[in-house]
Amino acid sequence: KKYSISNRFLASLSFNILKSGVSFLTVILLARWLGPQDYGTMVFLLASFVAFQQLLDMASTSAFFTFLSKRHRSKKFITFYWRWIGIQFSVSFLFISILLPDSIIEIVWQGEPRGLILLAFVATFMQQTVWSIISQMAEAKRESIKIQRANAFFAIVYFSIILGLSLFDKLFLPFIFIVLIIEWALASILASKIYSNHEHESQCDFESQSPDTASSVFKEFWVYCWPFIPFVFLSFIQHISSVWMLQEWGGSKQQAYYGIGLQFATVALLITSSILRIFWKEIAEAQHLGDIKKVEILYFKASRGLFFVGAIFAGAISPWSSEIISLFLGKEYLGGIIPLMLMLIYPAHQCLGQLGSAILLATENTKAQVIIGIIFSTIGTLVVFIMLSPFFGLELAAIGLSIKMISVQFAQVNVKNFVISRIFGWKFDWAPQIIGLGLCLSIGWICKYLFINIIESNVIIMFLSSSFLYISLISIIIFYYPLITGFRISEIKSEFWNIIDLLKLLRN
């Protein structure tokens, strides 16, 4: 029973809520203690290497998870892939530490010390690549509960260490990166046991296939990944140029303002992150077995439900951006009010984008994913340049990057969903986007206006009272029009009782 989609999702959500809450608190404290200048530098270094990892990866992690999700794979298959990861790390570390000229370091990383840059690279690699692969291996075995429990545990460990560094006045960027490296290396070693524990399972599935060899595995990955080469390169250019232009023309403070907005957006995406790999696994397996009806049902429910959750979050929090900044971060971050307000809207469409990418990658419709990605990576880079550069006179810094994220994301998501509807013969489902997001934002602003201008009180009391009214109105809408969430009322009730059963399962 614990391997059902419902229970795996609810368990992932529970642990993700815990993890996201702790991570959010960690980020807020880091932002306050480091200040906009150092925190902005940290955001810039980590973001630049996230983009660099995408270039190195060439969609191989997507291929790896898709292949693992379809059927059980041999130890040789796993070993070959980890060798590829080792090559990525070794070549990159050598390139950054020795081969890359100081002049390039000065231009790309704004003169930051090479040692600090290397620490940021290793920290990003351990968290974004190694831990991500280990998590995929666990999800491929439907061990969502175990891996999410581990994820939450190590988030708590990280928070505790950051708190300790602060108490001993040792909260410096090099120490923070070293903590990230050690933490996620240890987490990956321990979590790898989850997959190893399944090695006693029946081997008949992969033994019936031709044995894995270096050439066969390379060919399998090459067929999946080669269309991504131009897309990955353009995507890298877009991401690295975005953070670089913001750092060059806005500075570390603007980088911090945008980073805070992005962190709040990440909290809103916790439900999406809870279900994404579960969704990917089930879609890949269903498509492999020819169960297209299951693919359609999963996509309809996930896309409508996750988008409406994102819209609810945007309507509840976005109107209160100025109060959130003042309360959590202080006067130093007041310049980030508008970026935060905009970035809180971003997750609603981002969840649709992630689901769309997952279904295309899981069903190996890579050509569509690549073409759409190339088009919008190019458009995104141009829009960022226009928004941020002094040559066009806009120089909107963090506000401009936030506007780009929302506008380009909206266009890309709808193009991608239209293509998916044509591939699988579904109806293009666009109306809930306009209705759901518009409704939630309107209700959110009305509720804030009522309590700010009519019932004056403490900010926290007004926020909680406004939120209660907001949730009550949204609940009424869901009761009379439940399909806006992708579920019927009977299904919502059923999921409630599943939560009760899951709590009993977790307790045992």
Listed residue (147, 150, 155) closest to 22, CA to CA: 155
Looking at residue 79, its pLDDT comes to: 87
Tell me: the pLDDT tens digits for 312-345?
Answer: 989 999 999 988 888 888 888 888 899 999 988 8
Residue holding tokens 């928070």?
Answer: 159
Looking at residue 490, its pLDDT comes to: 64
Looking at residue 504, its pLDDT comes to: 56
Q: Is residue 163 within 8 Å of 170, Cβ to Cβ?
A: no
Burial class, 392, CB count within 10 angstroms (exposed 0-12 / middle 13-18 / buried 19+): exposed
Q: Which residues contact 229 (CB under 8 A, 6 or more apart)?
A: 58
Looking at residue 480, its pLDDT comes to: 83
Looking at residue 446, its pLDDT comes to: 92
CB-CB neighbours of 411 under 10 Å: 15
pTM, 2 dp: 0.74
Q: Which residues contact 190 (CB under 8 A, 6 or more apart)?
A: 150
Sequential DSSP letters for 174-241? HHHHHHHHHHHHHHHHHHHHHHHTTTTS--HHHHTSPPP-HHHHHHHHHHHHTTHHHHHHHHHHHHHH
Q: Is residue 376 within 8 Å of 389, Cβ to Cβ?
A: no
User: Percent helix, strand and coil across the chain, each rounded to 5?
Assistant: 85, 0, 15
Q: Which residues contact 483 (CB under 8 A, 6 or more apart)?
A: 304
Listed residue (115, 133, 135, 116) closest to 125, CA to CA: 133
Looking at residue 491, its pLDDT comes to: 61
Question: CA-CA distance, 102 to 89, in Å (whole number)?
Answer: 21
Looking at residue 408, its pLDDT comes to: 92
Looking at residue 118, its pLDDT comes to: 93
- For 151, 195, 357, the CA distances from 189, given in Å and listed in that order, are 13, 11, 29
- For 48, 50, 52, 233, 239, the CA distances from 236, given in Å and listed in that order, are 9, 9, 7, 5, 5
Enumerate residue ranges in the chain where pLDDT < 70: 1-9, 194-210, 274, 393, 486-508
For the chain, counts of helices (H) and of strands (E): 22, 0
Looking at residue 208, its pLDDT comes to: 40
Question: CA-CA distance, 385 to 411, in Å (whole number)?
Answer: 18
